[in-house]
Chain A
């Protein structure tokens, strides 16, 4: 292979200051600029009225339209929240299982008005807040705040607790990320910890079918029907611990999953018998887990209509 000509390998002339960054004199320490994205991204602006108004408009028009086109969600169990609505509704923590990026818009349109417009979403700092642009879009469009999921962070917890104390409700996916294989993952303790710390109820939510629309690793969505089932609020008791409450949240979501895929009566019987199927699926090799899922994941092959052979 012939060597490249010198002209091409030579570095292009650098633009002079002020058209480019200044050089740093030797022996001078430049103070590190505060990071403008990631866990430190300041989302306060997204909870001021102009941004809230824009978000409400976005959710009610684009969001609702997209959700209707992609997911056509069937929402049930909202009546279980009536007691909260009747009793001067305060902030709550909505905790849902997580299959897909579609989960957030589906929930933003399904959560009742009482909480929908004063809601923030716990977004993964390392994903939604990777750059300034994604940070701004996430904060504006879904009201996300950055949560560190790779390590235990007091800063994330403090920020969430402050918002809940200020009357904001929280939407969190306690699994910490989308399902990698269609089965659920064990719940982290964040939702339970915040509910206990702020003394607010947790509303368990189960989402079914969003994995078929846009599962992890897929680029383009496929329209399918989703089901959203709201559970009865879990009110933390005085003696509760975060671990115990977190287990209760996971159990509640598992019971809702059972209810959504069978029926309420069968689910209640299994719940009382301690036989509710786990969200996390069987402990078995990957192919058996996929086999056990059995919900027709992936694209269904469209059958060609054929004329009968005579």
Chain B
């Protein structure tokens, strides 16, 4: 029986706590008597028979609709869309759950005699997936059957001929999505819900959308009113997507949603990484030895080698649920399943929130975690891992641990480089950035060309990363980065500190002495239910 997550009150006998630090690890002694550590739950028991669960879900859809089998007929146009490389994190071991689901869907389609089938990686403004990444997601069998005929491809949000405008919401938000999906008789969306933010109408309304459509919810105002975007009912990001979902439905786009959830088994129960998901006081002599060896090795290796080691990791996630059918009914069940794994109740907010940022976020799979992504991961994702109220009080201090090197992947993140050099050198205020610079980057022909033909994120993507963290930026009184490269931390508008002790001392200037501290022991993923 897996143990649920819990809150540890740090005392004198608490051992140093593990902090992820990019492609490295740190052990930090936290002050006794005023510190809490929020631990994730142990991985839930995975489904014994995921393939059986998929079949079951397809035959017994939620929301009262007919089973998938009944929606398939000869002569129809079927489009299967699936989440891109940003999910799950780290990528899961083969077979990826998308492969299992897509094979089950296609098997039914084959049985029904459906000929016209397209598969689309719903990547919105993310970079295109490479052949190897597509093979990993959908499996070799599906890739070899469809890709050579041009029937398996990446969504292109900048292809005027490949987009269809479907209308506007009552709030004036334009809805424009992939034309093939819009004109299909049935869209089957295959989703992985790693966190509560994923899935629902966001899958189609964001994953298959164009910039024209995305800008209505990927903006500063929406993100500042999403508290948090992990909690759909208090997220303006989701409200906007739900409104767009209604436009899609009214326009006749028929969506059969399939959502899956994974457990917390990020680093496995055996092997060298297993120690990273154990509670520190339960480390055996072997765990300690493997941690010391791993840390010593990592600290001596060049960054490139360290990155290669971490990026090669494939998580042994287990599938905890599969649900299919009507979008909203499916998503409600999915979120419940995500919360069952990740949600941990905690009493009250804290003055100082600490977090160790790992080597990966949704936008640097097989790539470099540049300083903008560090900000997005810390103040965007980790800060927003709450329900109710933020874990840190308004005006409190956020301390993040990450090397934050001034380094960018030139192929994946070309517009990030210019954003960092040009925009952040001028201002870090999200609203000003949005007003003065967004349009220029979003409509830049060179970035557009790289997005469409190379493997680059869209020109506007770094702006979205900045907006992603704007709620945290607005909420926190000070942001300190421990162990970060001074000049890049300063460029982000944050304060650099050499050690955690220094950072805590600096924080006193903002929150006073004897401030309370809460550490988010993440990953594996944990979400705070703040009472």
User: Which residues 74-104 of B have a CB within 8 angstroms of A?
Assistant: 94-95, 99, 103
Q: Are B106 and A265 in contact (CB under 8 A)?
A: yes
Interface window among A105-113, A156-164, A267-275: A267-275
| Contact flag A83-B113 (CB < 8 Å), given A265-B145, A268-B107 | no
User: Which residues 143-175 of B have a CB within 8 angstroms of A?
Assistant: 144-146, 148
Could you tell me the dominant secondary structure of chain A's interface residues? helix
Q: Are B111 and A79 in contact (CB under 8 A)?
A: no
Q: Are B144 and A264 in contact (CB under 8 A)?
A: yes
**CB of B434 within 8 Å of the partner chain:** no
Q: Are B49 and A264 in contact (CB under 8 A)?
A: no
Q: How far is the CA of A83 from the CA of B145 in the complex (A)?
A: 23
**CB of A76 within 8 Å of the partner chain:** yes
Q: For the complex formed, measure the closest distance between the CB of B517 and the CB atoms of chain A, giving whole angstroms.
A: 41
Chain B residues contacting A264 (CB-CB under 8 Å) are 103, 141-142, 144-145
Number of A positions contacting B (CB below 8 A): 17
Chain B residue at minimal CB-CB distance from A82: B95
Q: How far is the CA of A83 from the CA of B49 in the complex (A)?
A: 7
Q: Are A265 and B95 in contact (CB under 8 A)?
A: no
- Contact check: which of A79, A87, A273 meets B48 at CB < 8 Å? A87
Chain B residues contacting A76 (CB-CB under 8 Å) are 140-141
Chain B residues contacting A263 (CB-CB under 8 Å) are 141, 144-145, 148
Tally of A-B residue pairs with Cβ under 8 A? 44
**CB of A103 within 8 Å of the partner chain:** no
**CB of B40 within 8 Å of the partner chain:** no
Q: Are A79 and B95 in contact (CB under 8 A)?
A: yes
Chain A residue at minimal CB-CB distance from B107: A268
Q: Are B146 and A265 in contact (CB under 8 A)?
A: yes
Q: For the complex formed, measure the closest distance between the CB of A140 and the CB atoms of chain B, giving whole angstroms.
A: 34
Chain B residue at minimal CB-CB distance from A263: B145
Highest count of chain B CB atoms <10 Å: which of A76, A83, A264, A271: A264
- Contact check: which of A77, A82, A83, A271 meets B110 at CB < 8 Å? A271
Chain A residue at minimal CB-CB distance from B141: A264
User: Which residues 240-274 of A have a CB within 8 angstroms of B?
Assistant: 259, 263-266, 268-269, 271-273
Q: How far is the CA of A124 from the CA of B51 in the complex (A)?
A: 37
Chain B residues contacting A77 (CB-CB under 8 Å) are 141
Chain B residue at minimal CB-CB distance from A262: B145
Q: How far is the CA of A259 from the CA of B94 in the complex (A)?
A: 20
Q: Are B113 and A273 in contact (CB under 8 A)?
A: yes
Q: Are B139 and A79 in contact (CB under 8 A)?
A: yes
Chain A residues contacting B145 (CB-CB under 8 Å) are 263-266
Number of B positions contacting A (CB below 8 A): 23
Chain B residue at minimal CB-CB distance from A269: B110
Q: For the complex formed, measure the closest distance between the CB of A107 and the CB atoms of chain B, giving whole angstroms.
A: 20
User: Which residues 60-106 of A have a CB within 8 angstroms of B?
Assistant: 76-77, 79, 82-83, 86-87
Q: How far is the CA of A259 from the CA of B103 in the complex (A)?
A: 14
Q: For the complex formed, measure the closest distance between the CB of A270 and the CB atoms of chain B, giving whole angstroms.
A: 8
Q: Are B51 and A268 in contact (CB under 8 A)?
A: no
Highest count of chain A CB atoms <10 Å: which of B107, B117, B146: B107
- Contact check: which of B50, B94, B110 meets A268 at CB < 8 Å? B110
Q: How far is the CA of A77 from the CA of B94 in the complex (A)?
A: 11
Chain B residue at minimal CB-CB distance from A79: B95
Q: Are B95 and A259 in contact (CB under 8 A)?
A: no
Chain A residue at minimal CB-CB distance from B48: A87
User: Which residues 282-319 of B have a CB within 8 angstroms of A?
Assistant: none
Q: For the complex formed, measure the closest distance between the CB of B322 and the CB atoms of chain A, giving whole angstroms.
A: 14
Chain A residues contacting B142 (CB-CB under 8 Å) are 264-265
Chain B residues contacting A79 (CB-CB under 8 Å) are 94-95, 99, 139
Q: How far is the CA of A268 from the CA of B142 in the complex (A)?
A: 11
Q: For the complex formed, measure the closest distance between the CB of A273 and the CB atoms of chain B, giving whole angstroms.
A: 7
Q: How far is the CA of A265 from the CA of B146 in the complex (A)?
A: 8
Chain A residues contacting B99 (CB-CB under 8 Å) are 79
Chain B residues contacting A272 (CB-CB under 8 Å) are 107, 110-111, 113
Q: For the complex formed, measure the closest distance between the CB of A264 and the CB atoms of chain B, giving whole angstroms.
A: 4
| Contact flag A269-B113 (CB < 8 Å), given A79-B94, A83-B51, A263-B145 | yes
Q: For the complex formed, measure the closest distance between the CB of A232 and the CB atoms of chain B, giving whole angstroms.
A: 8
Chain A residue at minimal CB-CB distance from B96: A79
Chain B residue at minimal CB-CB distance from A268: B110
Q: How far is the CA of A76 from the CA of B139 in the complex (A)?
A: 10
Q: How far is the CA of A235 from the CA of B398 in the complex (A)?
A: 55
| Contact flag A268-B113 (CB < 8 Å), given A79-B94, A83-B51 | no
Q: How far is the CA of A82 from the CA of B50 in the complex (A)?
A: 11
Q: How far is the CA of A213 from the CA of B360 in the complex (A)?
A: 46
Q: How far is the CA of A264 from the CA of B145 in the complex (A)?
A: 6
Q: For the complex formed, measure the closest distance between the CB of B265 and the CB atoms of chain A, giving whole angstroms.
A: 13
Highest count of chain B CB atoms <10 Å: which of A77, A82, A265, A271: A265
Chain A residues contacting B48 (CB-CB under 8 Å) are 86-87
Interface positions of A (Cβ within 8 A of B): 76-77, 79, 82-83, 86-87, 259, 263-266, 268-269, 271-273
23 CB < 8 A contacts A-B:
A76-B140, A76-B141, A79-B99, A82-B95, A83-B50, A83-B51, A87-B48, A259-B141, A263-B145, A263-B148, A264-B103, A264-B141, A265-B117, A265-B145, A268-B107, A268-B110, A268-B111, A269-B110, A269-B115, A271-B110, A272-B107, A272-B113, A273-B113
Across the A-B interface, the 7 shortest Cβ-Cβ residue pairs:
A265-B145, A264-B141, A263-B145, A268-B110, A272-B111, A79-B95, A269-B110
Interface positions of B (Cβ within 8 A of A): 48-51, 94-95, 99, 103, 106-107, 110-111, 113, 115, 117, 139-142, 144-146, 148
Known pairs A79-B99, A79-B139 / 18 extra A-B pairs, C-beta < 8 Å: A77-B141, A79-B94, A79-B95, A82-B95, A83-B49, A83-B50, A83-B51, A263-B148, A264-B103, A264-B142, A265-B106, A265-B110, A265-B117, A265-B145, A265-B146, A268-B106, A268-B107, A268-B110
